[in-house]
Amino acid sequence: MNNRQDVENVIIIGSGPAGHTAAIYTARAELNPLMFEGFMAWGVAAGGQLTTTTEVENFPGFPEPIQGPELMMRMRQQSQRYGTRIETKTVNKVDFSNFPYKVRAEGESEPRQAKAVIIATWATAKRLWIPGEKEFWQRWISACAVCDWGLPMFRNQPLVVVGWGDTAAEEASYLSKFGSKVYMLVRRDQMRASKAMQKRVMNNPKIEILRNTEAKEAIWDDTWLKGVKIVNNKTGEERVLEARGLFYAIGHKPNTDFLEWQVLLDESWYIITKPWTPFVYRWPALWNTEAKDDAILKWVFAAGDVQDKKYRQAITAAWSGAMAGIDAEHYLAGLED
């Protein structure tokens, strides 16, 4: 459905739990929201990070685990049910210098205009950029085990996962079902993953954790990944692990490049919001000054992990999406100026 309006009430950029929750709230408020859900935006399918995982066990309302892609499909259906118009396009430019704001999607010559914009674009997986990686990226090296585990070349083969957060723990557990052995390379000796995920990994006899260890190089024969050169960063000792797959789970960089410094970002490219609100600041704005409220970029909101360095969960993304939806609704109803 397209139904273009000259000036949209609200444009939502991004289609994860944050974007869809904002859509459900603004659609139920009869604001006729328009969502750009992204077209493989930075390599992630519409629906966001949960489309790259399997069982979600910690989203309320599902006593049995629900598959990530199914949860996102249900959120999308719920957004549409209340009237959200969804376009499968990636936004590559915004202009917040004049009102109404402008939002341009890839492949379109003219921007759309909006009275309020909700940014919920979260992030792209980080890479290590070690020698050998560039040439074989998305073949034997990947940042999404769940997307690629089914490829026959990984079955019954030794595999390597880099990282020690929840994603790494989840990916290692998953890969252990298909690989002959999974090595986890952990750059420190401390764990970042939650207790539940740590337990899952520790109790898995097919997973070996190598602490204080980093990947240095991907080693090839003519066409295959043969191994990963690793180094113990405490002793300096190097060796080659035999491996057929290398999976990164080392975090993400927020998808904020397209904002082109119009919104205040922190040193890791996360959007800075006014605490406990979805309000963003104009760039440049001074950090930690009393003038901060004056620097709020009115009626642009950020929701989800793109503004949350700490919790980064589906439910907390949904929570901030609800706040953005409610604040947009208040503004458009004239309750706030």
- As a whole number of Å, the CA-based R_g of the chain is 22
337 is a catalytic site residue: no
Exactly one of 51, 167, 173, 273 binds ligand NDP (CB under 6 A); that residue is 167
Please identify, among the stretches 47-55, 76-84, 173-181, 210-218, the one whose residues bind ligand FAD according to the rule CB under 6 A: 47-55
148 is a catalytic site residue: yes
CB atoms within 10 A of CB 110: 8
Find out whether 73 and 6 touch, Cβ atoms under 8 Å.
no
The single residue of 95, 147, 166, 257 carrying the catalytic annotation is: 147
* Closest to 154 (Cα-Cα) out of 140, 168, 144, 134: 140
Work out what residue 251 binds among ligand FAD, ligand NDP, none; the CB cut-off runs from 5 to 8 Å by kind. ligand NDP
Minimum CB distance to ligand NDP smaller for 106 or for 166: 166
Minimum CB distance to ligand FAD smaller for 13 or for 230: 13
Phi then psi for 16, rounded to 5 degrees? -90, -165
Q: How many whole angstroms separate alpha carbon 265 and alpha carbon 160?
A: 33
Residues that contact ligand NDP, how many (by CB under 6 A): 19
Please identify, among the stretches 91-99, 149-157, 216-224, 247-255, the one whose residues bind ligand NDP according to the rule CB under 6 A: 247-255
Tokens at residue 292, please?
Answer: 């901060």
Q: Are strands 91-95 and 101-105 parallel, antiparallel or unpaired?
A: antiparallel
Q: How far is the CB of 57 from ligand FAD (least distance, A)?
A: 6
Minimum CB distance to ligand NDP smaller for 214 or for 217: 214
| Measured CA distances, 80 to 77, 266, 306, 332 (Å) | 5, 34, 23, 20
CB atoms within 10 A of CB 149: 20
What is the number of residues in the chain?
337
The reply to whether 16 sits near ligand FAD by the rule CB under 6 A is yes
Work out what residue 48 binds among ligand FAD, ligand NDP, none; the CB cut-off runs from 5 to 8 Å by kind. ligand FAD
The reply to whether 9 sits near ligand NDP by the rule CB under 6 A is no
What is the SS3 assignment for 61? coil
Minimum CB distance to ligand FAD smaller for 26 or for 52: 52
User: What residue is closest to ligand NDP based on CB?
Assistant: 165
The reply to whether 271 sits near ligand FAD by the rule CB under 6 A is no
Minimum CB distance to ligand NDP smaller for 70 or for 214: 214
6 is a catalytic site residue: no
Minimum CB distance to ligand NDP smaller for 102 or for 312: 312
Burial class (CB within 10 angstroms; exposed 0-12, middle 13-18, buried 19+) of 245: buried
Q: How many whole angstroms separate alpha carbon 123 and alpha carbon 114?
A: 24
Find out whether 254 and 44 touch, Cβ atoms under 8 Å.
no
Q: How far is the CB of 177 from ligand NDP (least distance, A)?
A: 16
The reply to whether 268 sits near ligand NDP by the rule CB under 6 A is no
Q: Which residues inside 170-189 make contact with ligand NDP, applying CB under 6 A?
A: 170, 187-188
- Tokens 């259906």 locate to 77
| Measured CA distances, 254 to 59, 173, 181, 265, 323 (Å) | 22, 26, 32, 10, 20
The reply to whether 216 sits near ligand NDP by the rule CB under 6 A is no
* Residues at the contact surface with ligand NDP, assessed by CB under 6 A: 58, 128, 162-168, 170, 187-188, 192, 214, 249-251, 312-313
Catalytic annotation, residues? 144, 147-148
* Residues at the contact surface with ligand FAD, assessed by CB under 6 A: 13-19, 36-38, 41, 44, 46, 48-50, 52-53, 56, 58-59, 90-91, 120-122, 167, 170, 255, 258, 304-306, 312-315, 317
